[in-house]
A and B are shown apart, each in its own frame.
Chain A
Amino acid sequence: MEPFRIHTGIVAPMDRENVDTDAIIPKQFLKSIKRTGFGENLFDAWRFLDPGVPGADPATRRANPDFVLNQPRFRGASILLARKNFGCGSSREHAPWALQQYGFRALIAPSYADIFFNNCFKNGLLPIVLPEHRVAALFDDVAAFPGYKLTIDLGRQVVEPPSGGAIPFEVEAFRKECLLGGLDEIGMTLRHADKIRAFEAERLLRQPWLATTVR
Chain B
Amino acid sequence: MSTPRTLYDKIWDEHVVHSESDGTALLYIDRHLVHEVTSPQAFEGLDLAGRKVWRISANLAVSDHNVPTTDRSHGIADPVSRLQVDTLDANCDRHGITQFKMNDRRQGIVHVIGPEQGATLPGTTVVCGDSHTSTHGAFGALAHGIGTSEVEHVLATQTLLARKAKNMLVRVDGRLGRGCSAKDIVLAVIGKIGTAGGTGHTIEFAGDAIRALSMEGRMTVCNMAIEAGARAGLIAVDETTIAYLRGRPYSPSGAEWELAEQYWRTLRSDPDAHFDTVVTLDASEIRPQVTWGTSPEMVVSIADRVPDPQRERDPGRRDAMERALRYMALEPNRPITDIRIDKVFIGSCTNSRIEDLREAAAVVRRLGASVASNVKLAMVVPGSGLVKEQAEREGLDRIFKGAGFEWREAGCSMCLAMNADRLEPGERCASTSNRNFEGRQGAGGRTHLVSPAMAAAAAIEGHFVDVRRLA
B319, CB-defined interface residue at 8 Å: yes
Given contacts A90-B130, A114-B231, contact A189 B26 (CB under 8 A): yes
A186-215: which residues lie under 8 A (CB-CB) from chain B?
A: 186, 189-190, 192-193, 195-196, 199-200, 203, 207-215
Most buried by B among A31, A83, A119: A31
Question: Which residues in B have their C-beta under 8 angstroms from that of A196?
Answer: 17, 26, 28, 54, 157-159
Within the assembled complex, what's the spacing in Å between the Cα atoms of A192 and B27?
Answer: 12
B37, CB-defined interface residue at 8 Å: yes
Q: Is the CB of B439 within 8 A of A26?
A: yes
B426, CB-defined interface residue at 8 Å: no
B316-368: which residues lie under 8 A (CB-CB) from chain A?
A: 316-317, 319-320, 323
A100, CB-defined interface residue at 8 Å: no
- Look across to chain B and name the residue whose beta carbon is closest to the beta carbon of A172: B22
Q: Is the CB of B148 within 8 A of A93?
A: yes
Mask for A4-44, Cβ within 8 A of B = 1, else 0? 00000000000011101011001110111111000000000
Question: Which residues in B have their C-beta under 8 angstroms from that of A88?
Answer: 195-196, 229
Within the assembled complex, what's the spacing in Å between the Cα atoms of A43 and B158?
Answer: 34
- Look across to chain A and name the residue whose beta carbon is closest to the beta carbon of B14: A203
Q: Is the CB of A200 within 8 A of B158?
A: yes
Question: How many B residues have CB within 8 A of the partner chain?
Answer: 88
A174, CB-defined interface residue at 8 Å: yes
Q: Is the CB of B438 within 8 A of A23?
A: yes
Within the assembled complex, what's the spacing in Å between the Cα atoms of A202 and B19?
Answer: 18
A86-104: which residues lie under 8 A (CB-CB) from chain B?
A: 88-94, 96
Q: Is the CB of B159 within 8 A of A118?
A: no
Given contacts A88-B195, A89-B437, A174-B20, contact A17 B320 (CB under 8 A): yes
Mask for B217-241, Cβ within 8 A of A = 1, else 0? 0000000001001110000000000
Partner of B41 from A34, A114, A118, A189 at Cβ < 8 Å: A34
Within the assembled complex, what's the spacing in Å between the Cα atoms of A84 and B57?
Answer: 40
Partner of B49 from A90, A186, A213 at Cβ < 8 Å: A186
Given contacts A111-B196, A192-B26, contact A91 B129 (CB under 8 A): yes
B285, CB-defined interface residue at 8 Å: no
Question: Which residues in B have their C-beta under 8 angstroms from that of A83?
Answer: 316
Within the assembled complex, what's the spacing in Å between the Cα atoms of A91 and B145?
Answer: 6
Question: Which residues in B have their C-beta under 8 angstroms from that of A190?
Answer: 156-157
Most buried by A among B30, B44, B149: B149
Shortest CB distance B318–A (Å): 11
A54, CB-defined interface residue at 8 Å: yes
B146, CB-defined interface residue at 8 Å: yes
Q: Is the CB of A45 within 8 A of B131?
A: no
Question: Which residues in B have their C-beta under 8 angstroms from that of A114?
Answer: 165, 199-200, 229-231
Q: Is the CB of B130 within 8 A of A185?
A: no
Q: Is the CB of A93 within 8 A of B66?
A: no
A72, CB-defined interface residue at 8 Å: no
B161, CB-defined interface residue at 8 Å: yes
Given contacts A90-B131, A122-B147, A185-B149, contact A85 B195 (CB under 8 A): yes
Question: Which residues in A have their C-beta under 8 angstroms from that of B226?
Answer: 115
B288, CB-defined interface residue at 8 Å: no
A144, CB-defined interface residue at 8 Å: no
A168-196: which residues lie under 8 A (CB-CB) from chain B?
A: 172-175, 185-186, 189-190, 192-193, 195-196
Question: Which residues in B have their C-beta under 8 angstroms from that of A17?
Answer: 316-317, 320
B260, CB-defined interface residue at 8 Å: yes
A123, CB-defined interface residue at 8 Å: yes
B152, CB-defined interface residue at 8 Å: yes
Question: Which residues in A have their C-beta under 8 angstroms from that of B30?
Answer: 203, 210
Given contacts A31-B66, A85-B199, contact A199 B28 (CB under 8 A): yes
Q: Is the CB of A209 within 8 A of B256?
A: yes
Question: Which residues in A have their C-beta under 8 angstroms from that of B207?
Answer: none
B122-155: which residues lie under 8 A (CB-CB) from chain A?
A: 124, 129-131, 133, 144-150, 152-153
Given contacts A113-B199, A186-B153, A190-B156, contact A214 B249 (CB under 8 A): yes
Q: Is the CB of A85 within 8 A of B57?
A: no
The 27 listed contacts between A and B (C-beta, < 8 Å) are A16-B323, A18-B295, A27-B416, A30-B37, A30-B65, A35-B41, A35-B45, A88-B195, A88-B229, A91-B130, A114-B199, A115-B147, A123-B149, A174-B22, A186-B157, A190-B157, A192-B17, A193-B157, A196-B54, A200-B158, A208-B256, A209-B251, A211-B55, A211-B57, A212-B252, A214-B98, A214-B250
Kindly list the 10 A-B residue pairs having the minimum CB-CB distance in the complex, ordered from nearest. Answer: A122-B149, A209-B252, A93-B147, A119-B147, A33-B40, A91-B145, A173-B22, A93-B148, A85-B196, A174-B24
- Extra contacts, 20 of them, besides A88-B229, A172-B22, A186-B152 (Cβ < 8 A), are A22-B439, A23-B437, A27-B440, A31-B84, A32-B80, A33-B87, A34-B41, A55-B80, A84-B196, A89-B437, A92-B37, A92-B147, A113-B196, A114-B165, A123-B149, A173-B20, A186-B51, A193-B157, A209-B260, A212-B250
